[in-house]
Chain A
Amino acid sequence: MIKAQSGICKSGILSPWRNPLDPGDRFYRRVSAITRAIMNFNGTQYIELDNKITITGECEIEWYSQWPESAYIFANAGVGTVNVDSDRLAFFDGEVYGAGFNQSSSTGTPLSFTPSAEELHRFKYTRSADGFVKLLCDGVVLASGSAAYTGPIYIDSFLSKWSAKTSVPNFAGVIFDVSIKQGGVLTNFWAIDDNSGTIYDSVGGNNGTLINHISGDWEEISKKVSDDFWVDEDGERIYYAEGAL
């Protein structure tokens, strides 16, 4: 005799009618998986840092995110006036702008390929000691600057814009584990899994405030250590792109 599933699914009991390896199953999440909160940025929120960061030499800025197509990753939004190189790193219309990628005041550097949508990618911006910049996606060069850029890079916010009048939209999607290394030393790390209005820098103490966020923007995702995907609250899988891990 087959019993109805709804009659036996009691909390805390592993029912023989449930598949414990189903990532959508609550048992999987509670017992077998690690869980973290993520922000689902929807094009209205951004992060303001407590203190502006000034980068003058060799650096690496790394983050995991979905491909935003068009968005600012970081900016010096509070500056009032703008410098095309020092005050932003932005994607727009198949090009990357700022942080040494501008070929002129209005021309960025074309991307060598378009990262896949939906998947999680590992992006890394690097500037060498002699001032050459490079952007990698999952270990593959996405763009490289055509000339040495030795000027400063200012960061006072993530996912904001240097002007409300730019046509680049706010970032939409998932982003986490943002880190900055200067001179080979890790100086800042924001996990962005704080589940509150504050984003904590566990290395440099330069915390950020989430502007325009509402608690419903946070979502819990779960992942088995051996898996290359997370499972969101709806049971949907969020995969890492090849080379991201």
Chain B
Amino acid sequence: MSLINAADLPDHQMVSVVIPGIHSNYTNHSPLSVLEVTQSGQTFTVHIYRGKLFHDDEGESFTPLGYLTLQEYFTLRSMLAYTDENGNEIPRTLPMEWSEIDAMIEAMRAESAQEQPGNDQEVV
């Protein structure tokens, strides 16, 4: 997984993708989003938290599956299923396949880098 550019940003400007059972080192943090993804034909759940420091139930540190800038996360979140204020169910447009999500983020970063030559870190 190549969603790693955002790892260099300060914690308050990025989010991390982790698996269930992993907890943020910050107190009073809960998943910003919970989503289903597929990889190699298997479906699993991932959680998105702020920051990049995590631990498991035994207290061992955990390296996230990937990192996103806040702006990348907001784009991803807008593609999840939701209910609008008129009660209409809006279906998910985010791909289910992990590799497709990865490719989508990479494309967003490439586009952003083209718009801002020499600046590949988007700061929100």
In-complex Cβ contact of A166 among B30, B70, B82 (8 A): B82
Q: Select the stretch in A19-27, A29-37, A207-215 that faces chain B.
A: A207-215
Contact B85 A108 (CB under 8 A): yes
Q: In whole angstroms, how far apart are the Cα atoms of A105 and B84 in the complex? A: 12
Interface residue SS majority, chain B: loop
Task: Encode B27-60 as 1/0 by CB contact (under 8 A) with A.
Answer: 1111011000000000000000011000000000
The CA-CA distance from A38 to B34 in the complex, in Å, is 29
Q: Does A81 contact B (CB under 8 A)?
A: no
* Cβ–Cβ contact A44 & B83, under 8 A: no
Q: Does B108 contact A (CB under 8 A)?
A: no
Contact of B50 among A44, A90, A93, A95 (CB under 8 A): A44
Q: Are A167 and B28 in contact (CB under 8 A)?
A: no
CA of A166 to CA of B10 in the docked complex: distance in angstroms? 29
**CB of A71, distance to nearest CB on chain B (Å):** 12
A163 pairs with B70, CB closer than 8 A? no
A28 part of interface (Cβ distance < 8 Å): no
How long is the Cα–Cα vector from A92 to B84 in the complex, in angstroms?
Answer: 10
A233 at the interface (CB under 8 A from B): no
Q: Are B28 and A92 in contact (CB under 8 A)?
A: no
Docked-complex contact B30 and A216, CB < 8 angstroms: no
* CB of A183 closer than 8 Å to a CB of B: no
CB atoms of B84 and A167 under 8 A apart: yes
| Nearest-neighbor residue (CB-CB) of A40 within chain B | B12
B86 within 8 A of partner (CB): yes
> A106 → chain B, closest Cβ, in Å?
4
Secondary structure call for the A interface: loop
In whole angstroms, how far apart are the Cα atoms of A118 and B104 in the complex? 31
Distance between Cα atoms of A169 and B33 in the complex (Å): 12
Any A CB within 8 A of the CB of B11: yes
Q: Which residues of A contact B90 (CB under 8 A)?
A: 167
Chain A residues with Cβ under 8 A from B85's Cβ?
90, 92-93, 95, 97, 106, 108, 166-168
Indicate which residue in B28, B70, B82, B86 contacts A44 across the interface (CB closer than 8 Å): B70
Q: With A and B bound together, what is the CA distance between A163 and B26 in angstroms?
A: 23
Residues from chain B with a CB closer than 8 A to the CB of A165 are: 81-83
Q: Write out, one digit per residue, whether chain A residues 162-182 have a CB within 8 A of any chain B CB (1) or not (0).
A: 011111110000000000000
**Residue A205 interfacial (CB < 8 Å):** no
Residues from chain A with a CB closer than 8 A to the CB of B83 are: 163, 165-167
- Closest B residue to A45 by CB, please name it: B50
State whether A43 touches B70 (Cβ < 8 A): yes
A54 within 8 A of B: no
Tell me how far the C-beta of A122 lies from the nearest C-beta in chain B, rounded to whole angstroms: 25
**Within the assembled complex, what's the spacing in Å between the Cα atoms of A163 and B89?**
13
Residues of B within 8 A of A211 (CB): 28-30
Residues of B within 8 A of A42 (CB): 12, 70, 124
List 5 contacting pairs A-B, 8 Å CB cutoff, sorted by A. Answer: A95-B85, A166-B82, A215-B12, A216-B12, A217-B12
